[in-house]
Structure 1
């Protein structure tokens, strides 16, 4: 017995001292890039699919995303889906969490051995250069990805800088090893024209033109039209190399359905191979370099990217990856991510909750991405190269999604990014000679995707929160022009199609313009304040809900399923879901709906009829944006304890530490930003005002680091006492040591710094938060 006690004591001492060897986990250590990395329709139960994120390496708001690609076609915006078991290559650019076919996925690199195959082939066994991969070997962290390609016995490793990518391939012993690059590859279509030149024994350069007739974003309907320039260097000399060129007939249609057809793929598989070619321009090109390798030999490829020209790509690469030190570049990416993620520090909560939280925060810092080179030069909407002046040119503005949570989150922790995005949108309008702001911008394209005037909301919200380093006069005029071109106007409603969705969203952004007008001392406040009430004109007092109208102002026939009817006057929603969107006049909305008691009862039914797994449904549908503010409406109608209950339930049931951990498309940061805000205990129902709703945080402490250029304080801290999975209700609160009885905070209170303490309990305190 004494021996057992001594042995137990010794084991305890060993464990104690070994724990000292493990440094505490940093925010970056919690990132799991595989969360949401699936497009699976079967798992989602709807064609919209799940998260559609990518697992590859990138840096905060970087131009480059070096990531594995498992599929080119269909509604697979990220080019990757976890359930696929083959990889067709590793690309340098990716989109995050989008539907509508997607785009980018350019410069697809594949390490191979044996006979050269110029087509990727298909997942279903159609032969090509794609390879089965060892799922157990697949690992990813912030700034790093690795996998073992089974067919070729090659280990692939990826890392990134802001404008460049670095790939390291560990080959087996083979007399015919190879790195091949598909220059035509593009998610959702094809690059329509490419150029390649061998510069010296280690270097290639060139470009890939991606135009709407090659599919891509919206299969061409998104009007994405860009050219990717590259400058790439190999660590092993180019001795046995060449170009392949598929003979694409003149007049051949090149949208997604054409490119993915067997006939078109046969053209690629039978491409002409031009050994030793040093210069080539064509409609479907690829490049390869072959070499003998010893077992375990590593061959690296580093590539700079630019949207301006080859010289810009070279400058980006030379500055960011001057040598071949893969580990150094990987560590630099990790440090960048840790610094970025440390804008919010949380403690308490479970390890899973921290992983979900920091991965969500990671996903919110992919876009809006850098669109300028290291020297500040960027390709403008007028087809000319410009020099950014006082801002970083950014792109990928998924406005209809991100104005709700993603951009408001950045106003708190990365206000400079919001300022950059506004400058980018305002200058783009002028460069393209457009007199309005684009709602969904992609690589300078006015894609016209979705509805509303989200850029107007972002500008109004930024101004309210002291983010004003942009041309205020021009931003205001573009906002006015936007709501005049896309608004309810003097008619007081928008007719079909999507009468409800358009009318409500336009009413909100007309309120935004009224708010801006007042702040800037303009004369339009009264006009747009009146128009902001146009939502009332489509409320049917007989049906007691919003109802679409035709061009003449007549009600459209009421369907059998009533307000549960998907797409009845709505986009990607039904009237029950869309009808809650009156964020700028909640009191007016509640009066229309019969008062607070009726609204609370209706909201309860809205949530209680939703499935527990929170997947796509006709009630509270968290996979899509129109309802994201709804859990916080209880704060406005005298039942803040229900906001606390609902937000905790959604955090628990709609977000998981798994590939299927996002119940809907990530939508360029929006889905994850919702989680970050809700888990931190704050949420803005109405971007453009200064109010954040207080809800039930997941953690015992949340520290928000503030940017002192835009805020008076250095940090705002939220502390919870007695917090647990059962104690989800706020019992009482103090703000900077004084009793606090409101269920909301102003942006000013947060920006000057301070400490909010929330005492939590198991049962609702129905008296707290009613002031």
Structure 2
């Protein structure tokens, strides 16, 4: 008997060991993140000057202040500071932007491990004339919260990971009597820092700050008005016995925009900077810090750094709170755990392995921004340049409005509603602190860049308020929305003139509609009626003779019709042509269809729009998924009575525009928008018109999608979409049930989602044209 029990115990033990080992081998959600997806600015591959995804491959945590990433080149339209095809790395910076063009910014506190003679200039990409190094492409690894590479010039393995406010770097050196870590404090993507300060605090610590202004280029090469100071507090696990600074003598009056600092003359000044051994404190216009030391073979030297936009004390507190020791692996595991938790907001089953990589990397990219802008104690720099404390929300920054109001923010209302609440609070407090009392369309570290067109904050607020996300000063949010409209809208004439006539008129009409929805909710009946009328302004640029939208000049007359007609890029439009922009009437699709001659004619024209697009969906004159103006268009078939075409085309776009490779995004990531579109479409739902609680149902890529809801904002716990018989061939909905009851609509109300409903779709290979109409 005893023998049998022992055998049973052994068998159970073996079974548990087997299942534990099996579980350990199973992929976690973070394992499906490939940060190299989209990590290219290559214009040639993209087929247009906008380039490809422009993501960065470095380490970050969800919505963190820090992004520790390799930089391969500074200059041109190279916003993330990195492009996969480059052959050299100039260093590893603590801050980056994701998926943007317009020269970019950040890239601050650039760290480079080296050996041999100290060089003070990065030099040119693909050359040995600076401190940059060639690297072994096969050694380059990136995952959620981690990056590593072998720098071959010096045989130094470099590893990066992050916390919300800190970065930690681990460098494995060869045996060398002249090893070094050097920090370029002037480095800035798209320009240069204009002033820096550094001080050696003790034999393991340095602190200081990096000041960036429009005079040094950066965002929009200065046109983005970026004005910020990064404070740092950094500690080494190796003593600073031999250290110093270098200081370039920037002449008085020297201009310092991107074209200036890229010049041979300026680069020569940097390359011949004065090297000042033993200097423990320095203020200057172009500084670097270095520390020399001996290393044994495979010796690991670790640098951990906290940053703040408030003060050195804030940076120090951030570091001491988040990284108490030099345990790189522990920080990496914490970062990975944060990503697993964040990615679990949506759990998918089915689909291919590539589909899962595409999906979870897309989710990952939607959770870079809007990043935290406050320290661990809640302090943040206000729009009045004074310190403030966020006591009931997290202060956030980087709002790429024209892009993200379309899909990124609607996605976050589902999976991170608290984040949207934070963003609106952040915008309201900024507009209050800086005294403007209006919302900018593109905000970066408190700067109002004015980039693109429209009043996208109004859309975000209207959508959030309608969904019960209301933890901010609603009266101010409404007041500032009205002010924003008065500043930038269609005005008394009811249309926008000049080069943006079509794009401006259509987009401002939608934002007028958003104000009308807010006004209704707040009981402002007169305002609601006023803005409902203004929302019809899109009709004011409709030319019935051309049967399409046409721009007007300052006198209100039609601008000359071009030979290419509505395919003419930039004809009254922004980053689009009239054919692409003209579909943007989300607030009144029936009205648009009426102008087109009815639903059948609208469907025929829309079908032509998709069928003439190239198979790879790169930049083109028809359905141009590479840019935002058309992102809502595939879902218009639902509104026009042909939902099977929405199902068809969204599945095609998911297949053709998203891939698990470097060139995996057909256009700029644009701070989460490109990826958010995929997350929603692949899940099977999307909004055409944020602010309207109608969600379009389309063909899910996966057989099961579980969206975990936030109990603070939703009644239900999980919204589930099931797709029976789903496959790459079975893309069409045959029938549906909602909570077990037959469901015949191709849309859902947000209330059903928030209640925790279960939507079940039965899929098949051919359209069922009687369902969903």
Instruction: Calculate the TM-score normalised by the size of structure 2.
Output: 0.97
Corresponding residue of 2:561 = 558
Q: Secondary structure at the match of 1:663?
A: coil
The range that moved more, 427-436 or 243-252, is 427-436
The aligned length equals 756
Distance between the aligned counterparts of 2:713 and 2:25, measured in 1? 34
Cα offsets for 1:88-116 (capped at 9, x unmatched) = 00000000000000000000000000000
Contact 1:489 1:531 in 2 (8 A): no
Corresponding residue of 2:286 = 284
Corresponding residue of 1:424 = 426
How far did 1:492 drift?
Answer: 1.2
Corresponding residue of 1:394 = 396
Of residues 310, 313, 316 in structure 2, which corresponds to 1:314? Answer: 316
How far did 1:435 drift?
Answer: 2.3
Distance between the aligned counterparts of 1:435 and 1:591, measured in 2? 38
Corresponding residue of 1:251 = 253
Cα offsets for 1:309-349 (capped at 9, x unmatched) = 00000000000000011111000000000000000000100
Corresponding residue of 2:4 = none
Corresponding residue of 2:719 = 716
Corresponding residue of 1:89 = 91
Distance between the aligned counterparts of 1:17 and 1:394, measured in 2? 43
Gaps of 5+ in 2: 1-14
How far did 1:23 drift?
Answer: 3.4
Cα offsets for 1:224-277 (capped at 9, x unmatched) = 000000000000000111000000001000000001111111111000001000
Contact 1:490 1:531 in 2 (8 A): no
Cα offsets for 1:673-707 (capped at 9, x unmatched) = 00000000001000011011000000010000000
Gaps of 5+ in 1: 1-12
Of residues 436, 439, 453 in structure 2, which corresponds to 1:437? Answer: 439
Contact 2:46 2:619 in 1 (8 A): yes
Q: Does 1:750 align with 2:753?
A: yes
Corresponding residue of 2:68 = 66
Of residues 270, 273, 295 in structure 2, which corresponds to 1:271? Answer: 273
Corresponding residue of 1:186 = 188
Q: Secondary structure at the match of 1:498?
A: helix
How far did 1:25 drift?
Answer: 1.6
Q: Map of 1:542-621 to 2, 5 A cutoff? A: 542-621=545-624
Contact 2:126 2:134 in 1 (8 A): no
Corresponding residue of 1:698 = 701
How far did 1:199 drift?
Answer: 0.2
Of residues 527, 535, 539 in structure 2, which corresponds to 1:536? Answer: 539
Q: Does 1:767 align with 2:731?
A: no
Q: Map of 1:115-264 to 2, 5 A cutoff? A: 115-125=117-127, 127-264=129-266
Distance between the aligned counterparts of 2:612 and 2:447, measured in 1? 40
Distance between the aligned counterparts of 2:418 and 2:522, measured in 1? 21
Distance between the aligned counterparts of 1:542 and 1:515, measured in 2? 33
Cα offsets for 1:585-640 (capped at 9, x unmatched) = 00001100111111111011100100000000000000000000000000001100
Distance between the aligned counterparts of 2:180 and 2:35, measured in 1? 28
Of residues 449, 452, 472 in structure 1, which corresponds to 2:474? Answer: 472
Distance between the aligned counterparts of 1:79 and 1:85, measured in 2? 13
Q: Secondary structure at the match of 1:258?
A: helix
The ranges of structure 1 where at least 4 consecutive aligned residues each deviate by more than 3 angstroms after the TM superposition are 16-19
Corresponding residue of 1:673 = 676
Of residues 366, 369, 380 in structure 2, which corresponds to 1:378? Answer: 380
Corresponding residue of 2:78 = 76
Q: Secondary structure at the match of 2:484?
A: helix
Q: Map of 1:327-366 to 2, 5 A cutoff? A: 327-366=329-368
Q: Does 1:661 align with 2:667?
A: no
Contact 1:78 1:97 in 2 (8 A): yes
Distance between the aligned counterparts of 1:668 and 1:536, measured in 2? 32
How far did 1:17 drift?
Answer: 8.4
Distance between the aligned counterparts of 1:425 and 1:257, measured in 2? 33
Corresponding residue of 2:6 = none
Distance between the aligned counterparts of 1:574 and 1:191, measured in 2? 37
Q: Map of 1:477-492 to 2, 5 A cutoff? A: 477-492=479-494
Contact 2:88 2:126 in 1 (8 A): no
Q: Secondary structure at the match of 2:639?
A: helix
Distance between the aligned counterparts of 2:601 and 2:202, measured in 1? 74
Of residues 1, 23, 27 in structure 2, which corresponds to 1:25? Answer: 27
Cα offsets for 1:409-437 (capped at 9, x unmatched) = 00000000000000000110011110211
Distance between the aligned counterparts of 2:728 and 2:21, measured in 1? 27
Distance between the aligned counterparts of 2:27 and 2:139, measured in 1? 23
Alpha carbons of structure 1 residues 111 and 221: separation in structure 2 relative to 1, 3 Å: same
Corresponding residue of 1:4 = none
How far did 1:24 drift?
Answer: 2.3
Of residues 730, 733, 738 in structure 2, which corresponds to 1:730? Answer: 733
Contact 2:499 2:571 in 1 (8 A): no
Instruction: Calculate the TM-score normalised by the size of structure 1.
Output: 0.97
How far did 1:497 drift?
Answer: 2.2
Q: Secondary structure at the match of 2:676?
A: helix
Q: Secondary structure at the match of 1:434?
A: coil
The range that moved more, 308-317 or 525-534, is 525-534
Corresponding residue of 1:296 = 298
Corresponding residue of 2:109 = 107
Contact 2:345 2:707 in 1 (8 A): yes
Contact 1:210 1:226 in 2 (8 A): yes
How far did 1:18 drift?
Answer: 11
Compute the RMSD of aligned alpha carbons: 1.0
Contact 1:39 1:49 in 2 (8 A): yes
How far did 1:465 drift?
Answer: 0.6
Distance between the aligned counterparts of 2:21 and 2:67, measured in 1? 35
Corresponding residue of 1:633 = 636
Cα offsets for 1:119-162 (capped at 9, x unmatched) = 00011426000000000000011000000000010000000000
The range that moved more, 553-562 or 124-133, is 124-133
How far did 1:552 drift?
Answer: 1.1
Q: Does 1:50 align with 2:52?
A: yes
Contact 1:419 1:467 in 2 (8 A): yes
Distance between the aligned counterparts of 2:744 and 2:447, measured in 1? 47
